[in-house]
Amino acid sequence: MNRREMLQKTGAAAVAAGLSSFPLRWVQADEGSAKKRVFMFTKSGTYEHDVVKRHGHSSPAERILTELGKKHGFEVTCSKDGRDFDNSDLGQFDAFFFETQGNLLEKGVDGEPPMSEKGKKHFLDLIAQGKGFVGSHCASDTCHSHGSSNENQSPEQQDPYIRMLGGEFVRHDAQQRAWMRVADHHFPGLKGIDDFALLEEWYALKNFNPHLHVILVQDTTGMKGKDYQRPSYPATWAHRYHKGRVFYTSMGHRDDVWENPIFQQILLGGLSWAVGNAKADVTPNLNKAAPEASKLPDYQRQG
């Protein structure tokens, strides 16, 4: 075992040992206080990821997030039905969790009812008014902006959902082991986590909100595939959307990633901040953490 492999294994073991008590801030101040409520939405448009494909009553991602909720004191309601966003009682939830794909306003490959324009605006308004949002993996491959997929768009050209999220999927290449570089060790969930490598389907991203607080950076050094022939760029971030809190991580494609204690700790940290149970300094740091993030590969030259 080389030094890099040893660091990965010992780091994962250390996180696993501490995960059972993290995050303490999920525990309510008193027995009478209400649990935080999370609405998990996993509708798929043109492609349904295995991790959100239901087998029986739940998918692997739904099962794991629900189990984490039972363990750490928050409630999870799972849905693939876009009509739920028209409900007037949607505001009962403290945060929304998306691992979605494609145009949510159209019926997709999963056969589930689409979201309406009214429902989409309702959901975005709730976040702007103070609700939390957490997105995983293909949440950035959702509600794409107008214009070429291989170019950055101005904020005016970006879909309102993308402006809320803070970044947008371009494409991906073959799954491979690559490095996540920690840009903020103080963000909730990052305590004890140093740079780590993971086998994952890594998303190439664009349209980064200049006000992002970058937490993890995709180190493109040595990565295979034309989509990664570019400077390093944000892979996990947080930012304020008006009064709301938004957290996104590009991780979450594979079942074994969802089962990984490092991923779970980072996800719990993002959720705890998004619902207001944890404080964090989300001062914009994009120019420092990934100063050349907006530079995309020359797809025309690469063919």
Q: For 16-38, how does the pLDDT look when each residue is reduced to its tens digit (9 = 90+)?
A: 444 545 565 565 555 667 899 99
**Is the residue at 123 inside a domain?**
yes
**Is the residue at 29 inside a domain?**
no
Q: How far apart are CA 194 and CA 8, in angstroms?
A: 9
What's the pLDDT at 31? 61
**Is the residue at 69 inside a domain?**
yes
By residue range, what is the domain housing residue 91?
3-24+34-302
Q: Please write the tens of the pLDDT for every residue from 163-192.
A: 999 999 999 999 999 999 999 999 999 999
Query: Both tokens of residue 129?
Result: 């008014």
Domain count across the chain: 1
pTM: 0.92
**Is the residue at 170 inside a domain?**
yes
- The CATH number that applies at residue 189 is 3.40.50.880
Nearest-10 Cα torsion for 76, 79, 85, 88: -50
DSSP tag of 82: G
